[in-house]
Amino acid sequence: MLVPIRWLKSYTDMDVSLEVFCERMVMSGSNIETVEVFGEEIEGVVVGKILKIEPHPNADRLLVAQVDVGGGEPIQICTGAMNIFEGAFVPVALDGSRVPGPLHGKEKVEGGEIIRAGELRGLVSNGMMCNCTELGFSDKVVPIKHRDGIWILDGEFVPGTDIIQALELDEAVVDFEITPNRPDCLSMVGMAREAAAVFGTALRYPETDCSKVSAEQTGDHIRVAVDNQDLCRRFTGRVVKDIRIAQSPWWLQHRLISAGMRPINNIVDITNYVMLEYGQPIHAYDLRHIRGGEIRVDTATEGEIFTTLDGQERSLTTDMLMIRDAEGPIGIAGVMGGLDSEIRDDTSVIFVEAANFSGDSVRATSKKLGLRTEASSRFEKGLDPNLAAQACDRVCYLIEMLEAGTVLSGSVDLYPEPANPKTHEIRISRMSHVLGVDLTGEQIEGYLNALEMKTERLEDRIRVMPPTVRMDLVEEVDYVEEVARMYGYDRLPLTLPRSHVESVRTANQMIRETAKNTLMGLGVNEIQTYSFVSPKTVEKIGLSPEDPARRFVTLLNPLGEDTSVMRTMLLPNMLEVLSRNMARSIEGMRAYELGNTFWVGDDPQAQLPTEKDVLCAALYGEQESFFTLKGILTELLSVLGIEGSDFVAETGNAAYHPGRCANIVYRGAVIGTLGQIHPTVAEAYDLTQTVYAADLSFHALYSLVDMDKKYEPLPKYPAMKRDFAMVVEEQVQVGDLEKEIKAHAGDLLEAVKLFDIYRGNQVAKGSKSVAFSLTYRAKDRTLKEAEVNEINTRVLVALKEAHHAVLREM
């Protein structure tokens, strides 16, 4: 909401600096987006009168003008603008002056541009005649007739007058952020009400009483019927005759321009001006084109076609509220009028309509038609129906004042259920109870009265009657806010709650934190990726058609296909991230994501999908292998107290290399998978390096985690080590050998460690040599050579029987 300060001051006499105004408005609830002080970048620009124009002797497209800029001799200015004429008053930037710009064909320069005298094709040019944009007006709001060429000023001026003074250009415009609960502030009067309350000044409402009303009655020219009162709470209007369409006076144009609207002509400008004053949209019809002199407010028929003011044909539906005349539609209620009944230069009688349409209906219509207008957005937010008649009278007042027409007596006003002021009772004690400061009844009443609310003291309560424009006030708590902001949030003390509640974290939160810290220690970097993905990811990753991970939670209105379903796995996002890093020539990366996946069908009764935590880890780089990743996972599981899981070769997972993939099995259940990414998948993701990845069903780990640590006494007696190497066939898995060792070594075996695997000339082709180091120890005594030898022999025999392992000379 753009508020020109000088305009605002016409309703209330606050006398504060711009800084103080802004500061106190912000702190009382009217937040400010920007403040622009117009005219700050204009220096040395004066009004000039063109005395004489001659063609430039050396250029066809240039004119040479002698311009009176006050004080002595006229100055000579060369220009390419052809719209100037002798006797015209124009803005002249003198030698050394400054204009905001942008200059013709250039970008805007911060601080403006300095204008210097110069020579144009051999003739001296002592300045520049300005157009509107050179003086800093936006193209969007400049009147159409001033858009091209030099700005020809209306009226008479003393040549040499500073342009800022002449046109009152030094206007500060404050852009307020209006929250959706305060549509009443989308108006000058509304903002003036706020300012008056903040600065303790009186609020002056705009003049609305016409003094030269014609004896003719509005009712003789127009009859109105409202068929759908639910959607049209009030319909009011007046007829004005003898319309003289003209340009608005500068003060009116200037206010509209400052508030961001382009001046058109006096009648349109007045309706826009009053809309800005009250927030009430106004529509003016050319009465000639209201056929039969009657208006009917009713919903459209299905498929009806109507051409709006902007020349677009619109196809209507039965829920859209229309303004009709005797023969057909002339406007879409609250959205846009029709092309046919538009105000034209020859319009002589108009009907000024100010109505109150249902915000929900206007919103639905405007959404369906894809047509949002200044009017529709105001109706959507909600309007006080009492404004309609005031605004309509104000339009008539201004028409009369600008001598643009003769207002007829009376009005049509269909307003069967007037909105009467509401009353609420609020408790004085509640204010202190919520805010934490002691406020007296007098203080509270004072704040509310300043906001034009009537109050009445009832012992420990106050009865409040707010103005009807304050539709946001419906219950006690709304007044708590009013009192708080008028008292000043900044005056509330800083205290801490007295209650003592202990901060607790759930077991799962702590498990996740432990996992993240462990992975951090293991050199794995955390990534975070979108929760929504492309459904094509499951194809890229090679999921089978019946895989439950294909049953997606699907968005009805995604931004695009690539974010249209909720992820069921993290691996695809991970591969994308690694691929991106490879593409950026990053040599290696260890990454993990611990995040949510979304599953339907787990519980058919559930309204919401099940969200399951998954951990995906992956790595690439020169030093990385299946086993570096396996080591990371093993250490992570160990930290979480999940010891003794098996890595079981898996050949059927399409995402992974069939010979380099394992399921992680714990107590019979698969809790995760790791492996080298399948070459086909790697190709699909443009992975130029080998990637090893793992996904863990983290949600399944929560119940398995055992992070209770207990001290185990350090060994008192020495250990005895036995190292041996054996030759086995290539397909024998070392995991099985290790299991065999553990199964036969008994309780005295403290640790078993694989320390070497050898393939090569020293062993037969298709075989490998595997070397283990076994550590034996008893808790209560020193072991004897003989007993360890006996156990070790038993182990070797078992390995030979089960796996044809042949002991190798060490």
Partner 1 sequence: MIEKLRQMVEEAKQKMDRAASLADAEGLRVKYLGKKGELTEILRSMGSLPPEERKTLGQAANTARSQLEQLLNENMERFRQMEKAAELSAETIDVTEPGQVIPIGAKHLLTITTDEIIRVFSGMGFSVSEGPEVETVFNNFDALNSPPNHPSRDMTDTFYISEDVLLRTQTSPVQVRTLLSQKPPIKVIAPGRCFRCDTPDATHSPMFQQVEGLAVDEGITMSDLKGVLDRFAKSLFGSSEKTRFRPHHFPFTEPSAEMDVSCFKCGGKGCRFCKGSGWIEIMGCGMVHPNVLKVGGVDTERYTGFAFGMGVERIALLKYEVDDIRLIYENDARFIRQFK
Q: Is position 37 an interface residue for partner 1 (rule: CB under 8 A)?
A: no
503 contributes a contact to partner 1 by CB under 8 A? yes
- Minimum Å gap between C-beta 520 and partner 1 is 4
Which C-beta is closer to partner 1: that of 495 or that of 703? 495
Binding range to partner 1, per CB under 8 A, among 174-182, 196-204, 461-469, 699-707: 174-182
Would you call 714 helix, strand, or coil by DSSP?
A: coil
Q: Does 501 bind partner 1 (CB under 8 A)?
A: yes
171: which residues sit within 8 A by CB, 6+ positions away? 4, 5, 6, 37, 38, 39, 254, 258
Complex with partner 1: residue 581 or 773, whichever CB lies closer: 581
Specify the residue for token string 């949002």: 372
Q: Is the CB of 496 or the CB of 810 nearer to partner 1? A: 496
The helix/strand/coil state of 118 is strand
Stretch near partner 1 under the rule CB under 8 A, chosen from 176-184, 234-242, 668-676, 770-778: 176-184
Task: With contacts defined by CB under 8 A, name the span among 115-123, 518-526, 633-641, 729-737 that binds partner 1.
Answer: 518-526
Shortest reach from residue 502's CB to partner 1, in Å:
6
Is the C-alpha dihedral spanning 486, 489, 490, 493 positive or negative? positive
Decide whether 494 or 786 has the Cβ nearer to partner 1: 494
- Give me the least distance between CB of 298 and partner 1, in Å please: 23
Applying the rule CB under 8 A, the residues between 461 and 500 that interact with partner 1 are 475, 477-478, 480-481, 484-485, 489-490, 492-500
Of 736-755, binders to partner 1 (CB under 8 A) are none
Give whichever of 526 and 729 is closer to partner 1, judged by the CB atom: 526
- Tokens for 780, please give them: 């209560």
Pick one of 71, 72, 155, 180: the residue that binds partner 1 (CB under 8 A).
Answer: 180
Q: Closer to partner 1 by CB, 557 or 605: give it.
A: 557
- Residue 268 to residues 65, 248, 423, Cα–Cα distance (Å): 36, 9, 38
374 alpha carbon, distance to own chain's centre: 21
Site for partner 1 in 337-366 (CB under 8 A): 359-360, 363
Residues 90 and 127: their CA atoms lie apart, in Å, by 12
Tell me the C-alpha distance between 525 and 574, whole Å: 12
Closest of 704, 707, 703, 699 to residue 594, by C-alpha: 699
Q: How far is the CB of 670 from partner 1 (least distance, A)?
A: 25
Task: Report the distance separating Cα 264 and Cα 72, nearest Å.
Answer: 38
Contact status: 506 vs partner 1 (CB under 8 A): yes
Residue 566 Cβ, how far from partner 1 at the closest point, in Å?
7
- Rounded CA gap, 615 and 640, in Å? 14
| CB of 251 or CB of 489, closer to partner 1 | 489
Length of the chain equals 810
Q: Which helix (H) or strand (E) holds 414?
A: strand 412-414
Name which position in 558, 631, 718, 746 contacts partner 1 (CB under 8 A): 558
Phi, psi of 492 (to 5 degrees): -70, 140
| Nearer residue to partner 1 within complex by CB, 522 or 648 | 522
Q: Does 504 bind partner 1 (CB under 8 A)?
A: yes
Could you tell me the smallest distance in angstroms from the CB atom of residue 443 to partner 1?
Answer: 16
The nearer residue to partner 1, 327 or 360, going by C-beta atoms, is 360
Whether residue 551 contacts residue 567, with contact meaning beta carbons closer than 8 Å, is answered with no
| CB 18, CB 8: distance < 8 Å | no
**Within a 10 A sphere around the Cβ of 165, how many other Cβ atoms?**
13
Beta carbons within 10 angstroms of residue 707's beta carbon: 12
Using DSSP's 3-state secondary structure scheme, residue 563 falls into helix
Q: Which is nearer to partner 1, 342 or 611 (CB)?
A: 611
Distances (CA, A) of 546 to 210, 562, 601: 79, 22, 14
How many Å apart are CA 77 and CA 808, to the nearest integer?
A: 108
What share of residues in the chain are helix, strand, coil (percent, to 5)?
30, 30, 40
Per-residue binder mask for partner 1 (CB under 8 A), 96-135, x = binder: ----------------------------------------
Distance CA 776, CA 718 (A): 9
Interacting residue with partner 1 among 6, 116, 424, 516 (CB under 8 A):
516
- Minimum separation from the CB atom of position 378 to partner 1 (A): 14
Q: Applying CB under 8 A, what is the total number of residues that bind partner 1?
A: 81
CA pseudo-torsion sign 105, 107, 113, 116: negative
User: In terms of C-beta density within 10 A (0-12 exposed, 13-18 middle, 19 or more buried), how is residue 357 classed?
Assistant: buried
Closest CA to 576 of 675, 697, 687: 687
| Whether the Cβ atoms of residue 189 and residue 7 lie closer than 8 Å to each other | no
Q: How far is the CB of 570 from partner 1 (least distance, A)?
A: 12
Closer by beta carbon to partner 1, 360 or else 643: 360
Which residues in the 649-688 window bind partner 1 by CB under 8 A?
none
Q: What are phi and psi of 325, to 5 degrees?
A: -110, -165
Identify the three-state secondary structure at position 613.
strand
Would you say 613 and 595 are in contact if contact means Cβ atoms under 8 Å apart? yes
When the beta carbons of 531 and 690 are compared against partner 1, the nearer one is: 531
Six token digits for residue 776: 């034996």
Shortest gap between Cβ of 498 and partner 1 (angstroms)?
6
Closest CB to partner 1 among residues 524, 691: 524
Of the pair 214, 581, the CB lying nearest partner 1 is at 581
In the complex, the smallest distance separating the C-beta of residue 138 from partner 1, rounded to whole angstroms, is: 20
**Contacts with partner 1 in 562-621 (CB under 8 A)?**
563, 566, 577, 580-581, 584, 586, 589-592, 596, 598, 607-609, 611
Q: How far apart are CA 695 and CA 616, in angstroms?
A: 4
| Residue 527 binds partner 1, judged by CB under 8 A | yes
Instruction: Give least dist CB 575 to partner 1, A.
Output: 12
Between residues 412 and 473, which has the closer beta carbon with respect to partner 1? 473
Q: Containing H/E element for 517?
A: helix 507-521
Using CA atoms, how far residue 732 sits from 436, 725, 770, in Å, is 76, 14, 10
Closest approach of Cβ 546 to partner 1, in Å? 23
Stretch near partner 1 under the rule CB under 8 A, chosen from 50-58, 263-271, 519-527, 772-780? 519-527
Residues in region 528-557 near partner 1 by CB under 8 A: 528-532, 553-557
d(CA 661, CA 542): 15
Rounded least distance, CB 27 to partner 1, Å? 6
Least gap, CB of 656 to partner 1 (angstroms): 22
Cβ of residue 249: shortest distance to partner 1, in angstroms?
35
The binder of partner 1 chosen from 181, 229, 317, 733 (CB under 8 A): 181
Residue 109 or 477 with smaller CB distance to partner 1: 477
The answer to whether the beta carbons of residues 426 and 461 sit under 8 Å apart is: yes
| Closer CB to partner 1, 498 or 765, in the complex | 498
Of 381-440, binders to partner 1 (CB under 8 A) are: 433-437
Quote the least distance from Cβ 176 to partner 1, whole Å. 13
Site for partner 1 in 4-33 (CB under 8 A): 26-29, 31
Q: 215 or 559: whose CB is closer to partner 1? A: 559
Distance CA 679, CA 542 (A): 11
Question: Cβ of residue 312: shortest distance to partner 1, in angstroms?
Answer: 21
Cβ 585 to partner 1 shortest distance, Å: 10
State which H helix or E strand residue 767 sits in. Answer: strand 767-776
